[in-house]
Amino acid sequence: MVSDASILDPIRQSNHFGQWLEQLNRDWEEEQRRRHAFWAKHDEGIKAEFINGEVVYHSPVYGRHWMANANIVRHLLPYVAENKLGHVAYEKVMCRFTRNDYEPDIVFWRKEVARQFSAKQSAFPPPDFIVEILSESTEERDRGIKFDDYATHGVREYWIVDPEERSVEQYLHDGETLKLELKIKSCALQAVAVAGFTMSVEEIFADALT
């Protein structure tokens, strides 16, 4: 990962530094105005995200997408509850990052964070564990801006589930970024951020529509 210093040094050394800084501040203020408008008008019945200054709406998903989602939730939710590890959420749960607001497919927060949530809270901090299930319309973001944001904000574990390939990629945070731990099409995944949770790829795609 390129350091912020190496990116910013040429800008700092330019004669146009002050001019660019003023423009960036104006752009940031305008983006935050649009972001607050998004928060104020957001309909909890519609899945939408705020990414790089734009509102991104999501189309209905294919059956194989929600089936994989349901299979993971069906295993993860009772495991976390029974072991009192924290909270699991899925679909339409707004996670607020420094610049962007996402609604990942499945998320988990450890109990030390989750116990601070309130009943009427509508936006939540970056989770410890995130699962995104790929679709043609979301893959670029799931592997691009979201991946970078999740890594930057210290998400401990990220699973990318591909219903087309019936594969799962497990990324773990190494203190600096998210690194690929494994990519598998069979056998079991052992979660790190959710202590003791194991699920096989076969279970994730059980009864999936083709």
pLDDT at residue 1, as a whole number = 43
CA 135 to chain centre: 14
Output 169 or 65, whichever has higher pLDDT: 169
Please, what is the average pLDDT of the chain?
91
- Per-residue pLDDT, averaged over 189-199, amounts to 97
Output 44 or 129, whichever has higher pLDDT: 129
Q: Quick one: pLDDT band at residue 2, thresholds 50, 70, 90?
A: very low
What percent of the chain clears pLDDT 70, i.e. is strictly above it?
95
DSSP states of 145-160: HHHHHHHHTT-SEEEE
What does the pLDDT look like over 14-71, one tens digit per residue?
888 888 888 888 999 999 999 989 888 877 777 889 999 999 887 666 788 889 999 9
Mean pLDDT lowest for which of 18-27, 53-62, 92-101, 155-164? 53-62
Q: Is the pLDDT at 3 greater than 80, yes or no? A: no
- Per-residue pLDDT, averaged over 138-143, amounts to 95
**Residue 94 CB partners (closer than 8 Å, separation 6+):** 42, 101, 102, 103, 122, 123, 124
What does the pLDDT look like over 102-125, one tens digit per residue?
999 999 999 999 999 999 898 999
Is the CA virtual torsion 198, 202, 204, 207 positive or negative? negative
pLDDT at residue 92, as a whole number = 83
| CATH 3.90.1570.10 fits domain 57-204 | yes
DSSP-derived pairing of the beta strands 157-162 and 129-133: parallel
Q: Is the pLDDT at 187 greater than 70, yes or no? A: yes
CB 188 within 8 A of CB 48: no
pLDDT at residue 124, as a whole number = 96
Taking alpha carbons only, the member of 54, 57, 176, 160 closest to residue 105 is: 160
pLDDT at residue 29, as a whole number = 92
Output 131 or 46, whichever has higher pLDDT: 131
pTM for the complete prediction? 0.84
